C-alpha cells in the first residue's frame, strides 16, 4: 500500500488513516484449525442474549442461517479460479467451499461439542433448516451458540457485498448535468494520467449509498424489504412530511490524501432547503439495519455523496463497495487499481 493512498475511515466528521494489517490466509485445509481457534478465542464467555429452552432432557437452543454459511457447497464452477457463482435476486454472489461449522471431517463441530459438552445438529448439505444445540447445562449450550455465531459472522464478513441500499439520482436534469461535467473533464483533462471515459459513473446509476449488505438467502432479502417498509411507516414519512425530499448536487471532493493519485471522485449532496432531514433519515435507516445485523457497524453516520468517477469502473462498470474476491481456498485477492490525476479536474 502506498503511503499517500491509505484506506480512510470517517469518524465524527474526521478522516483517519487505517494502518495496513496482514490478512490471514488459508491456503491448505490443514490451516483450518488456526482459523477456528482464532475465531473462538473471544467466544468462551457465556452470553445471556440467546434464547435457551429448558427440556426434559436438559437445554436447547436453535438458530437459523443461510445454508450457504454452514453446508459444503457443490455447485457449477464459474471460472478457472475456483469461484462458484450463485444467482440470487438477479445478483451474483461469489464464495468458496465452506466448512466453517462442520469443519474438515467434522472436526470443528466435534471440537465445539467436546469443549461445551453439547450436541450440535446441522442440516445436511443442500437442505435448509435450523441448527439445533442441546446439552445438559445451560451455560454449555450458550457457549456453543456463541462460538457458532462467531464462525458464521466471520464467514459472512468475508463475502462480497450482494446488495446495497441507495437513493437513485436518476432525474433527467441530474443526468444531463453529469454528462456535461463528463464532457468538460474529457475535453480539458484527458491528457492527465488515468483520466478516460471508463472511470465515469453510468449517468443512469447515479445514487446515494446508505449501506452495503450481504444477503445470502431469499429469506434475508424478504427480511430487508420488510425492514425498509417498517422504516417508512415508523419514521421516514414523518421526517419527509410525506413528500419527496429535494436535494442538490454541488461541488466535488476526492477520497485520498494526494489529489494527484485519486481513486474516487464524488459530488457533494445537500438539501435544497438547507435542512438536515436527509441526513437524519439515512442515519436512522442505517442504525436500524446495523441493529439487525444486516449491515456491519463501521460508522454512526452516513457520508452522503454521489460517486461520479471511480477507478474500479475500469475493470467492472458495476463495481460497488468492497471489491475483494476470494479463491476456493479462502485466500483474498485484492483488485489492482490505477489511480488518476485529479488536480486539474478539481481546479
DSSP codes, 104-125: GGGHHHHHHHHHHTEEEE-PPT
φ, ψ dihedrals at 247, nearest 5°: -120, 165
CA pseudo-torsion sign 103, 105, 109, 114? negative
Specify the pLDDT at position 126: 66
φ, ψ dihedrals at 332, nearest 5°: -80, 140
N residues, the chain: 347
Angstrom distance (rounded) from CA 308 to CA 318: 13
Specify the pLDDT at position 2: 55
Longest dimension (CA), the chain: 78
Q: Where are the domains of the chain?
A: 47-74+90-159, 163-315
Specify the pLDDT at position 236: 93
The CA-atom distances, in angstroms, between 83 and each of 48, 94, 95, 100, 329 are 38, 6, 6, 17, 10
Each residue's pLDDT tens digit in the chain (347 positions)? Answer: 455 566 667 666 666 666 655 544 444 444 444 444 544 444 445 555 678 988 998 999 998 877 766 543 222 223 333 333 322 332 333 333 334 455 555 577 888 899 999 998 888 766 777 889 999 999 999 999 998 888 888 777 777 888 888 888 888 999 999 999 999 999 999 999 999 999 999 999 999 988 888 888 888 889 899 999 999 999 999 999 988 888 888 899 998 789 999 999 999 988 999 999 999 999 999 999 988 878 877 777 888 889 999 998 988 877 765 444 444 444 554 556 889 999 999 99
Angstrom distance (rounded) from CA 132 to CA 193: 57
Angstrom distance (rounded) from CA 113 to CA 133: 9
Specify the pLDDT at position 124: 75
- Architecture of the CATH domain 47-74+90-159: 2-Layer Sandwich (3.30)
Specify the pLDDT at position 4: 57
Angstrom distance (rounded) from CA 275 to CA 270: 8
Angstrom distance (rounded) from CA 114 to CA 290: 33
Is 281 in a helix, a strand, or coil? helix
Q: How far does CA 66 lie from the centroid of its chain?
A: 16
What pTM, to 2 d.p., does this model score?
Answer: 0.65
CB 322 within 8 A of CB 156: no
Angstrom distance (rounded) from CA 31 to CA 45: 25
What are the DSSP E strand ranges found in 183-316? 207-213, 247-254, 264-271, 305-310
The CA-atom distances, in angstroms, between 48 and each of 17, 41, 61, 115, 139 are 36, 18, 12, 19, 9
φ, ψ dihedrals at 13, nearest 5°: 80, 0
β-bridge partners, 77 = 84
Specify the pLDDT at position 125: 67
Specify the pLDDT at position 250: 87
Domain 163-315 has CATH 3.30.70.100: no
Specify the pLDDT at position 72: 32
> Which DSSP state fits 43?
-
Amino acid at each position: 500500500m502506498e503511503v499517500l493512498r491509505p484506506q480512510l475511515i470517517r469518524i465524527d466528521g474526521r478522516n483517519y488513516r487505517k494502518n495496513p494489517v496482514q490478512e490471514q490466509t488459508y491456503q491448505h485445509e490443514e490451516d483450518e484449525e488456526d482459523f477456528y481457534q482464532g475465531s473462538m478465542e473471544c467466544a468462551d464467555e457465556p452470553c445471556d442474549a440467546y434464547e435457551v429452552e429448558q427440556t426434559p432432557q436438559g437445554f436447547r437452543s436453535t438458530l437459523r442461517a443461510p445454508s450457504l454459511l454452514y453446508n459444503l457447497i457443490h455447485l457449477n464452477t464459474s471460472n478457472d479460479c475456483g469461484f462458484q457463482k450463485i444467482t440470487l435476486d438477479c445478483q451474483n454472489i461469489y464464495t468458496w467451499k465452506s466448512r466453517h461449522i462442520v469443519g474438515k471431517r467434522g472436526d470443528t463441530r466435534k471440537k465445539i461439542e467436546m469443549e461445551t459438552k453439547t450436541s450440535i445438529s446441522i442440516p445436511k448439505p443442500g437442505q435448509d433448516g435450523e441448527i439445533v444445540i442441546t446439552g445438559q447445562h445451560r451455560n454449555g449450550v450458550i457457549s456453543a451458540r456463541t462460538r457458532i455465531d462467531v464462525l458464521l459472522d466471520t464467514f459472512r464478513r468475508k463475502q462480497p457485498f450482494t446488495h446495497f441500499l441507495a437513493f437513485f439520482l436518476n432525474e433527467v436534469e441530474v443526468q444531463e448535468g453529469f454528462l456535461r461535467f463528463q464532457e468538460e473533464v474529457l475535453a480539458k483533462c484527458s491528457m492527465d494520467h488515468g483520466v478516460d471515459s471508463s472511470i465515469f459513473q453510468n449517468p443512469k446509476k447515479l445514487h446515494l449509498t446508505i449501506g452495503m449488505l450481504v444477503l445470502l438467502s431469499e429469506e434475508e432479502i424478504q427480511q430487508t424489504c420488510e425492514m425498509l417498509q417498517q422504516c417508512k411507516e415508523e419514521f421516514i414519512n414523518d421526517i419527509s412530511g410525506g413528500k419527496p425530499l429535494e436535494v442538490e448536487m454541488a461541488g466535488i471532493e476526492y477520497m485520498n490524501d494526494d489529489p494527484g493519485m485519486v481513486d474516487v471522485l464524488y459530488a457533494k449532496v445537500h438539501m435544497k432547503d438547507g435542512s438536515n432531514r436527509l441526513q437524519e433519515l439515512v442515519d436512522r435507516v442505517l442504525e436500524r439495519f446495523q441493529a439487525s445485523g444486516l449491515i456491519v457497524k463501521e460508522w454512526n453516520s452516513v457520508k452522503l455523496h454521489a460517486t461520479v468517477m471511480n477507478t474500479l469502473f475500469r475493470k467492472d462498470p458495476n463495481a460497488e463497495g468492497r471489491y475483494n474476491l476470494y479463491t476456493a481456498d479462502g485466500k483474498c485477492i485484492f483488485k489492482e487499481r490505477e489511480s488518476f490525476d485529479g488536480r486539474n479536474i478539481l481546479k
